[in-house]
Amino acid sequence: MRRLILALLLLAGPAFAVGSPSEMLPDPAQEQRARAIGRELRCMVCQNESIEESQAGLARDLRLIVRERVAAGDSDQAVVAYVHDRYGDFVLLRPPFRLATAALWGAPFLALGAGLLAILLLRRRGAPSEPVPLSPEERARLAALEKDPTA
Amino acid sequence: MIGELGHFALALAFVLALAQTVLPLWGAARRDGRMMAAAGPLAHGHLLACAAAFGALLYVFAVNDTSVVNVVQNSHSAKPMLYKLAGAWGNHEGSMVLWVLILALCGGAVAGFGRDLPTALKARVLGVLGLVAAGFLLFILVTSNPFGRVWPPPADGQGLNPVLQDPGLAFHPPLLYLGYVGFAVTFAFAVAALLEGRVDAAWGRWVRPWALAAWSFLTLGIALGSWWAYYELGWGGYWFWDPVENASLLPWLAGTALLHSAVVVEKREALKVWTVLLALLAFGFSLLGTFLVRSGVLNSVHAFANDPERGVFILGLLVFYIGGAFALFAWRGPAMAPTGMFSPLSREGGLVLNNLLLCSAAAVVLVGTLWPMFADLLFDQKISVGPPFFNTAILPLTVPLVLAMAAGPLLSWKRARLWPVLERLWWAALGAATALLLCLFLAGWRVGPALGFGAAIWLILGALADLADRIALFRRPAAAWSRAGGLPRAAWGAALAHAGLGVTLLGIAGMGLATDHLSAMRPGQSVALGGYQWRLDKVEDAIGPNWSARRATVTVLRDGATVTVLHPERRFFPVGRSTTTEAAIHTGLSGDLYAVLGEEQDGAAVLRLHHNLLAPWIWLGALIMALGGAISLTDRRIRVAAPASKRAAALAAKA
């Protein structure tokens, strides 16, 4: 959906260029790795797109940098770190864990914890969860009734 | 002239909506029967006015009236009629008119079919709906007049963005709006219940069909949007965790939770406060989505209208409706004491777990969507939150949700035992484990897709186990057939919807194993991909109504036999001077063969070929989910109790 509108922004350029085979690495395994890395990196002039999906010039430059590093034998982490050092946090689609993102990464657990707490509190405050057990007299009367319903 | 009439109809609709708000609410507070009785006719009058405005809008687009600014900006005489009409709601102003029309339709349906509703409740529901409509009509009149004139009129319009010239545009927004606006009705019921200070099983019986209908439409709308992106954008992607997509996912998650907890209110009169809260939340998320899409506050967006003035207005509406409703909730909510008791391990307990997990997922999506803005404002840090984050963060919530989803329907109400449930599910677990290991073995230790296949099989077999248990297939096979006939349709619908999610997961897992190939090819050359031979035969010129194109012919062969011939295109639109790629897709049960044509150089054409394993199942599953919702709507219990839902059910079935 996003790209539908993105097209509006890109009308000037060749919208939806399909990609160019000359950018690809000759080794399919390396190309596969480069793509996986590229999907973690943001095209910084685009609306929330990874560099693998974007047609902007900057994305193309970054794609080439990633492939250069992969071809030079860097590990995946080293390539990401290389780009991260030069472009800052904004380039990472998976935000790094730090104080400003602690609540973001903790969101699933915070939400679950808060929900559980609310449920427990509501249960305690609400109606008693178990009916009061019968007293010995009531039980005796029940037994008598079960034996002889007319009593 | 017609444009002015349309504008007048909008103003009339606003006045009628105000009357529809004041008279019934005042009447309900004073127990004045005549004032309450005004709600129905006013709702119908309001519907007529909105329909007239929408008709006028369609008319000015159909005749390409270039003295209307909106037409000039979004239409062109050379466009096919379907896209002229669809273009009427393919822009900010027009889509808002569609929004209020659908809201008025819902109000008309409540008024027309809700004869069995208690008078005061009906008056209050219609009053709240009127208030919502009045706010949005005022928004249109003040900031987004769709009938504004321009003088002198230009010779022709500027045309619609070619990407939007697609049948998808005709159906995607109306379906989404039916979903969003449907939650306005459950919102109105929730506010009415808070005003009355009473929630009972009858209330639950009324809310459930509306939640079901809204949920089904929203499911279809989201799926259609995703499919549209998949075939129109030519990347083979189907979900991007874009803020705008997230904005539609949020009400879906809250609506799914609402749907389930309304069942508990109806059957057991428990979870009342919670259900009211979810109804407020579902509509709150719908409004938040509207705000995010139209204000441009987020770095995303498909925003058609990045206009701060509009953003502030919608934010005002959001604060007024949702803030007001939550204040009312804080005031009146605690008075609604729960009556039904249940132990933690029971159907009710399972549904509480469902609500907890769905709401947590919604919280994660909400936080992830808004965090870049917060980080910028609070810490002065620019960060991105993209698909890798969402995929990782949503996983710890999805896994227990899927695990519990198959077991929940097998639990008995009030107090359940776990062992009999597990006994009925062992073969589903066995099937899931087999699928998981098989995928790991065949596809080379790729954990994500393997988990997806396991989860999908678990859900589908779990739904079958649920049905088998209800008709006592294994205990008394002889009577199973007659029991199947007597099973309530709601049970069929629920099982179908759960299995539908399994089918969608199957497609998502399959897409995890999709392969593609990018290369420059000359006519006659072929490449191998996904067990097929793809041969480029020729590239030639083609002409359409308002575009010219280069069209490739790609023959796909398997073992020497032709499977299909694909015609991917690059289209050039002279109006607006833009180019689009039209992917050619051959859809089969085992997946899509997908070809995109790129640029040509020295007699060679760049082709990107995809083998998208099981891709169609993603949307097929969504269709099955919506069908489950529709079947559930035809349940006798709902038909007898709430005739109004008939119409919604008929609509859902048609869609």
Q: What is the DSSP string of A47-76?
A: SS-BTTT--SHHHHHHHHHHHHHHHTT--H
C-alpha–C-alpha distance, residues B417 and B334, integer Å: 31
Higher pLDDT among residues B631 and A2, named by residue: B631
| Burial track B330-369 (b if 16+ CB lie within 10 A, e otherwise) | eebbeebebebbbeeebbbbbbbbbbbbbbbbbbbbbbbb
Q: What is the pLDDT of residue B50?
A: 97
User: What CATH class is the domain A2-91?
Assistant: mainly alpha
C-alpha–C-alpha distance, residues A121 and A113, integer Å: 12
Q: Cβ contact (<8 Å) for B581 and A18?
A: yes
Tokens representing B125 are 């529901």
Mean predicted confidence (pLDDT) in A85-114: 90
Tokens representing B271 are 């979870």
What are the backbone dihedrals phi and psi of residue B527, each rounded to the nearest 5 degrees, phi first?
-130, 160
Please name the residue of chain B whose CA is at the shortest distance from the CA of residue A43.
B384
Please name the residue of chain A whose CA is at the shortest distance from the CA of residue B163.
A4
Tokens representing A40 are 């973690």
Q: Where are the domains of chain A?
A: 2-91, 99-147
Higher pLDDT among residues A94 and A119, named by residue: A94
Q: What is the pLDDT of residue A15?
A: 38
Gap from A53 CA to chain B (nearest CA, Å): 8
Choose among B233, B375, B578: nearest Cβ to A4.
B233
Chain B stretch 204-243, residues whose beta carbon is closer than 8 A to a beta carbon of chain A: 225-226, 228-229, 232-235, 237, 240, 242-243
Touching check for A103 and chain B: CB below 8 Å? yes
C-alpha–C-alpha distance, residues B304 and B313, integer Å: 16
Q: Where are the domains of chain B?
A: 1-165, 517-614
Low-confidence ranges of chain B (pLDDT < 70): 295-308, 337-340, 636-655
Q: What is the pLDDT of residue A18?
A: 62
Higher pLDDT among residues A64 and A151, named by residue: A64
Residue A98 has pLDDT above 90, yes or no: no
Q: What is the pLDDT of residue B179?
A: 92
Q: Which residues of chain A are within 8 Å of residue B338 when distances are taken between CB atoms?
A: 126-127
Touching check for A1 and chain B: CB below 8 Å? yes
Tokens representing B404 are 């519990």
Strand pairing report for B526-529 and B578-582: unpaired
DSSP-assigned letter for residue A90: G
User: Which are the contacts of B633, defined by CB distance < 8 A and separation ≥ 6?
Assistant: B209, B212, B213, B216, B493, B645, B648, B649, B652
Q: Which residues of chain A are within 8 Å of residue B598 when distances are taken between CB atoms?
A: 17-20
Choose among A8, A15, A18: nearest Cβ to B596.
A18
Q: What is the pLDDT of residue A150?
A: 63
Q: What is the pLDDT of residue B54?
A: 97
Gap from A5 CA to chain B (nearest CA, Å): 5
Q: Which residues of chain A are within 8 Å of residue B304 when distances are taken between CB atoms?
A: 5
Q: What percent of chain A has pLDDT over 70?
A: 79
Place of tokens 């230790």: B445
Choose among A89, A104, A108: nearest Cβ to B360.
A108
C-alpha–C-alpha distance, residues B100 and B6, integer Å: 13
Q: What is the pLDDT of residue B639?
A: 56
Residue A64 has pLDDT above 60, yes or no: yes
Q: What is the pLDDT of residue A126?
A: 56
CB contacts < 8 A (A, B): 181
In residues, how long is chain A?
Answer: 151
Choose among A4, A91, A127: nearest Cβ to B302.
A4
Which of A6, A16, A105 should one mutate to test binding to chain B, selecting the residue with the greatest count of B CBs within 10 A?
A16
* Model confidence band, residue A10 (pLDDT cutoffs 50, 70, 90): very low
Q: Which residues of chain A are within 8 Å of residue B415 when distances are taken between CB atoms?
A: none
Gap from B34 CA to chain A (nearest CA, Å): 39
Q: Which residues of chain A are within 8 Å of residue B161 when distances are taken between CB atoms?
A: 4, 7-8, 11
Beta strands in B480-603 (DSSP E): 515-521, 526-529, 532-543, 548-558, 561-566, 569-573, 578-582, 584-588, 591-601
Q: What is the pLDDT of residue B11?
A: 96
- Given CA atoms B346, B349, B355, B361 in this order, what sign does their dihedral have? negative
C-alpha–C-alpha distance, residues B524 and B554, integer Å: 10
Q: What is the pLDDT of residue B444?
A: 79
Average pLDDT of chain B, as a whole number: 88
Please name the residue of chain B whose CA is at the shortest distance from the CA of residue A116.
B356
What are the backbone dihedrals phi and psi of residue A20, each rounded to the nearest 5 degrees, phi first?
-130, 130
User: Which are the contacts of B87, defined by CB distance < 8 A and separation ≥ 6?
Assistant: B61, B74, B75, B79, B94, B160, B164, B169
Mean predicted confidence (pLDDT) in A51-65: 85
Q: Cβ contact (<8 Å) for B606 and A93?
A: no
User: Which are the contacts of B294, defined by CB distance < 8 A and separation ≥ 6?
Assistant: B92, B303, B304, B305, B307, B310, B311, B314
Chain B stretch 383-402, residues whose beta carbon is closer than 8 A to a beta carbon of chain A: 383-389, 392-394, 396-397
Q: What is the pLDDT of residue A132?
A: 64
Q: What is the pLDDT of residue B612?
A: 93
Touching check for A28 and chain B: CB below 8 Å? no
Tokens representing B512 are 């995890």
